[in-house]
Amino acid sequence: MNKVFLKGNLTSDPNIREVNIGEKVSTVANFTIAVSRHYKQKDGETKQQTEFIDCEAWDSAAITMGKILHKGDPILLEGSLKKEQWEKDGQKHSRVKVRTTTFDKLARFTKTDSSSETDSPKPELVKVAADTEAEEIPF
């Protein structure tokens, strides 16, 4: 099974472009999310480790991402790992990225001194599947 779930923040606006695959033109969104992990060291000190994960989405999901996602937005995504390999100047290169199948745009929370957690709004989710047509999304 090859399934990945990640929750993080976009490091920049998604890069949307069209590519020719045979006779078909497809849309691809390339983006990076910052995913943090919090842990305690042996001495009790809490640390944070952040990983920057390259991701891609195709067709209607890519189009929707270009319309609604921006740098800093929190996102929850589901996808699979994909290994890319290429050769440049005689050197072999490879990288692993996440091919996004669905994503949720999460609401940004700003905590103020005058609000309590019970007064906080619930996060607004925008769920998009990779095979959903952009015209079907109600916004």
Ranges of each domain in the chain = 4-136
Per-residue pLDDT, 128: 58
pLDDT at 108: 78
Q: What is d(CA 96, CA 53) in angstroms, rounded to the nearest whole number?
A: 9
User: What string of pLDDT tens digits covers the 139 residues of the chain?
Assistant: 999 999 999 999 999 999 998 889 999 999 999 999 999 989 999 999 999 999 999 999 999 999 999 999 999 999 999 999 999 999 999 999 999 999 999 987 766 655 455 554 455 555 555 554 444 444 4
What's the topology of domain 4-136? OB fold (Dihydrolipoamide Acetyltransferase, E2P) (2.40.50)
CA distances from 27 to 30, 47, 107 (A): 10, 39, 26
